[in-house]
Structure 1
Amino acid sequence: MAAIATNLKATSWYRRLLGPELIQCYSASDSEMKVVPVESVLGNPDSNLEIVGLYFTPVFAMDEGNVMAKLLDLYRRVNEGGGVPREGQAGGGGRLEIVQIVLQTNVDCVVTLTDVEETFRKLVKDVPWFAVPYRDFQRKARLWRRFRARAAAPSLVLLEAASGRVVTGRGAERLASDPAAAAFPWRPRPALAALRAAPLARAADLRPADLPFRDADGAVIGLYFSANWCPPCKAFTPQLVELYQRVRERGQRFEVVFVSSDRSEQSFAQYARAMPWLAVPWAEGERRAELAALFSVPGIPALVLLDAASGRLITPDGRALANEDPLGHEFPWHPKNVNILSERYATKLQDHPAFILFVEGDQREIEFAESVLRPAADNYQLHYQPNADEDYFLFLIGCDNDTCDLLRDFIGIDDVVPLLTAIDIPSGHVSIMEDGEEITEESVKNFVTKFLEGTLPTTDIIMSDIQLNDSSVNVV
């Protein structure tokens, strides 16, 4: 597995993310579209490239905000003007390059490849940038999932050209609110800076906001994204109040900051009365929206836990973890490399592939599963590169419970145990360790290595109608 990591590190982030070739968009009006190596576009050291924009365009989405025209204007102004401002540096900046990802949402037996090509040509033929090849359906779908691009409107994700690190995933929204691009490339400030920007209020009485964040009594800060109009939120808030009080009674320094998605100040005030913690004041709508964007909060309720001293993210899954551990025995739920397959992780399987060892549900079998999975999981985590790796793999223990039964039915695998599997729902593939092979630390490492290399035989997953969803409400 170390050899794989070495080889992966030698491959550029953009090649691993976007593939070996791109299409030059303005050549789409020619009979033969020009295909160029990705290195010539994003890896040329003489190009002075600073920012790479991934521009996601669903084929049948309405461009109501006229994102394309605004992006064309931005592209020309940046590259013909002073360039992208470099963080912490004065003087001229670098170039902006755009890679367009066109998603044909109705590629099925009725739509031919000729139709797909024709639609692609129409969308990209008049723009000066590049695109992921129209035939690379699987890569485009992975990119769409990874960056959580919208299905009904264009999205713009900005990346650092040097590292592939995400600068902002809300480029289209920022372009709409800042059409002159005065703050481009819209680098977000750290969460702690946003929290320290102005005093917080005490939620229950909503006296004038007079509490500086530095005075908040917490080694762990929970950002609670919620709203009075949201039924799941109103059900979860009493649970969080009880957890908050239990944790603090044990002497753990935990503070919560309510970040409201309410639609009126009256609704906000009514809801906040039941909360014994702090709140971002209602008047600071921009700061509330900024915090939600920083953590890509897709729905509410959401509880994001941070280290109060460093601002380091502990977990974005506080709501689900509080449901699993209502007494907070394992609070603040620092991430583990090996986890039990619960409903929370079943939901994540829609976006992440996973190595899952199915065992009986008794404690001895769970301990065995963790002991053989952990070395491979620790090694994988050690070499994982979040800015370059296409997928993040989970390492899970599947016990004898309803969630595992549901997943087995969904995938179509037998209920034998122990059973080591690699399940990649996003790509529609599953691999199973050969029958009769002993499950040991070494055999698990070999299985993981071969799957990452792409040398294990796979079977296509025949998707059932079973849904693996949570109960969040979209933020509107």
Structure 2
Amino acid sequence: MSNPLVSLLGEKVQNKAKEDVDVASLSSEGGVLGLYFSAHWCGPCRSFTPSLAKFYDNFKKTDEGKKFEIVFLSSDRDESAFSEYFKEMPWLALPFANRDIKEKLSKRFKVRGIPNLVILDSSTGKLITADGRNCVMEDPEGKRFPWSPKPFQEIFTGSILQHDDTEITTESLKGNILGLYFSAHWCPPCRGFTPKLAECYKKVKETHKNFEIIFVSSDSDEEHFRAYWKEMPWAALPFGDARKQALAKHFSISGIPTLVLLDENHKVITEKARAQVIKDPEGKEFPWYPKALNELDDSAQAVINEDKCVILFADVQEDDDVTKAKDVLLPVAEEYKKNEKEEDDKLHFYVAGDEDIVDSLREFLNIKDDDLPILTILDIPEQQVYKCDKKEITATIINECLTKYKEESLEFKPLSG
């Protein structure tokens, strides 16, 4: 059985003397490995590295620190800059030549900027937290190391505020489908979405009495919080409540408005419920469990911008072309989703018909009428796209593309739109 860290980093990393260190030796029961994405040219990196080095040196002296190690993954432009910067670090490094491994890990852990410290369980290679930088800054003595995220049930305790300033307990919300609405008055998209959510909420409550929403405010002062909350027919966390930050971190909230939907056991149904409210304002398909395949429309914009998507652009010359495309892609999507592992890159599957967004996307990707039907894998975060060159799109063709995608052997082209 292969070592999980070797699968990630390869066989060897190097120490400061540029001697090889076996990656397998870094794996231990109860051990922790930090992947430090950084570069000398990056000002914030150079500011953070001394703080991380101080933490590392002090923490390594403790019993817990004996099973902790860091590996530097460089984004420097050349080996000379890498070597010079590595001199400032007391830990190990991935050899500069292993750029493919560094890029693969950046994609896997969704590293969008640096410095970034990803914390892993060294015995399994599984993610503990992708927010290691903030953890070090907030907890420089490592008292909460290895900074495992608190379970939702530990965060979501205590009181919730109602409009008459009475309180209810989180305990009373158990058994309810729960929406956490991250929003703020200063945010124009939030103010545009809140009335739509309020209408949808009222519709859904007619048939789902156990649906509740909690407003999680990012407002800058209590006056704006109160004024904005008046527009909402649901309860809220009190202004300035510490649970707001903990919940935002738990669900990796990177922008607002965001609506996270949890089932009766408070397991995540979807973290993109905002798109479902827009797509299904009457709540006919509530509680919006994710489907293996969707038709591409305006509600998919956020997903397309943030994640990798398999999109089959249908011919649409005949009335049943979209239906035929769905019939081909649906069983493939269902099988892929059934076998999708937690550590895999998540893929979303769409059939593109004749919605307005399809025309815009086709123009962006330079897809002509004569190109249809065409299978694509769109990766906007990495600014790349794959276009299948087969004219007849069958389940076999799609599966072949997905296999190559997993093997990282597809030929992606840079986006030029």
Report the Cα offset of residue 444 of structure 1: 3.0
Structure 1 residues 317, 429: CA separation in 2 closer, same or farther (over 3 Å shift)? closer
Provide Cα deviations, 1:227-259, integer angstroms capped at 9, x if missing partner: 111111111111111111110012342110111
1:238 maps to: 195
Establish whether residue 463 from structure 1 lines up as the match of residue 415 from structure 2: yes
3-state SS in 1 of match to 2:326? helix
1:441 maps to: 395
Report the Cα offset of residue 169 of structure 1: 2.2
Structure 1 residues 290, 21: CA separation in 2 closer, same or farther (over 3 Å shift)? same
Q: Percent identity?
A: 34
Report the Cα offset of residue 50 of structure 1: 1.5
Report the Cα offset of residue 441 of structure 1: 3.1
3-state SS in 2 of match to 1:175? helix
TM-score normalised by structure 2 residue count: 0.88
Query: Structure 2: how far apart are the matches of 1:66 and 1:411?
Result: 39
TM-score normalised by structure 1 residue count: 0.78
**Structure 1, unaligned stretches of length 5 or more?**
1-9, 28-32, 85-93, 105-114, 467-476
Spell out the pairing of 1:307-346 with structure 2 (5 A cutoff).
Answer: 307-309=263-265, 311-345=266-300
Query: Structure 1: how far apart are the matches of 2:137 and 2:408?
Result: 42
3-state SS in 2 of match to 1:397? strand
**Structure 2, unaligned stretches of length 5 or more?**
none
Establish whether residue 365 from structure 1 lines up as the match of residue 321 from structure 2: yes
Residue type at the aligned position of 1:39: A
Establish whether residue 298 from structure 1 lines up as the match of residue 254 from structure 2: yes
Report the Cα offset of residue 442 of structure 1: 3.5
1:132 maps to: 94
1:100 maps to: 72
3-state SS in 1 of match to 2:338? helix
Report the Cα offset of residue 454 of structure 1: 5.0
Report the Cα offset of residue 344 of structure 1: 5.0
Structure 1 residues 341, 139: CA separation in 2 closer, same or farther (over 3 Å shift)? farther
Spell out the pairing of 1:45-84 with structure 2 (5 A cutoff).
Answer: 47-48=28-29, 50-63=31-44, 66-83=47-64
Query: Structure 1: how far apart are the matches of 2:36 and 2:89?
Result: 12
Structure 1 residues 218, 231: CA separation in 2 closer, same or farther (over 3 Å shift)? farther
Report the Cα offset of residue 346 of structure 1: 5.0
Query: Structure 1: how far apart are the matches of 2:319 and 2:235?
Result: 40
Structure 1 residues 340, 141: CA separation in 2 closer, same or farther (over 3 Å shift)? farther
Moved more, 214-223 or 115-124: 214-223
Residue type at the aligned position of 2:16: Y
Query: Structure 1: how far apart are the matches of 2:319 and 2:287?
Result: 23
3-state SS in 1 of match to 2:286? coil
Structure 1 residues 403, 21: CA separation in 2 closer, same or farther (over 3 Å shift)? farther
Query: Structure 2: how far apart are the matches of 1:333 and 1:41?
Result: 42
2:143 maps to: 182
3-state SS in 2 of match to 1:300? coil
Query: Structure 2: how far apart are the matches of 1:161 and 1:329?
Result: 45
Could you tell me whether the CA contact under 8 Å between 1:200 and 1:280 is conserved in 2?
Answer: yes
Report the Cα offset of residue 427 of structure 1: 7.1
Residue type at the aligned position of 1:201: L
Structure 1 residues 383, 242: CA separation in 2 closer, same or farther (over 3 Å shift)? same
3-state SS in 1 of match to 2:159? coil
Residue type at the aligned position of 2:86: V
Establish whether residue 213 from structure 1 lines up as the match of residue 167 from structure 2: no
Query: Structure 2: how far apart are the matches of 1:12 and 1:373?
Result: 35
Higher relative contact order (CA 8 A, sep 6+): 1
Query: Structure 1: how far apart are the matches of 2:39 and 2:285?
Result: 42
Report the Cα offset of residue 290 of structure 1: 0.3
Spell out the pairing of 1:26-425 with structure 2 (5 A cutoff).
Answer: 26-27=16-17, 33-36=18-21, 38-42=23-27, 47-48=28-29, 50-63=31-44, 66-83=47-64, 95-104=67-76, 116-137=78-99, 139-149=101-111, 151=113, 154-196=115-157, 198-202=158-162, 204-205=163-164, 207-208=165-166, 210-216=167-173, 219-284=176-241, 286-309=242-265, 311-345=266-300, 347-349=302-304, 352-361=307-316, 364-387=320-343, 389=344, 391-415=345-369, 416-424=371-379
3-state SS in 1 of match to 2:57? helix
Provide Cα deviations, 1:392-425, integer angstroms capped at 9, x if missing partner: 3332212223333333333334333322334455
3-state SS in 1 of match to 2:16? helix
Report the Cα offset of residue 291 of structure 1: 0.3
Report the Cα offset of residue 145 of structure 1: 4.8
Could you tell me whether the CA contact under 8 Å between 1:23 and 1:132 is conserved in 2?
Answer: yes
Could you tell me whether the CA contact under 8 Å between 1:359 and 1:417 is conserved in 2?
Answer: yes
Report the Cα offset of residue 80 of structure 1: 2.9
Provide Cα deviations, 1:310-334, integer angstroms capped at 9, x if missing partner: x211111111221222222222211
3-state SS in 2 of match to 1:396? strand
Residue type at the aligned position of 1:38: V
Residue type at the aligned position of 1:370: K
Moved more, 212-221 or 340-349: 340-349
Moved more, 142-151 or 171-180: 142-151
Moved more, 315-324 or 406-415: 406-415
Moved more, 131-140 or 184-193: 131-140
Could you tell me whether the CA contact under 8 Å between 1:306 and 1:312 is conserved in 2?
Answer: yes
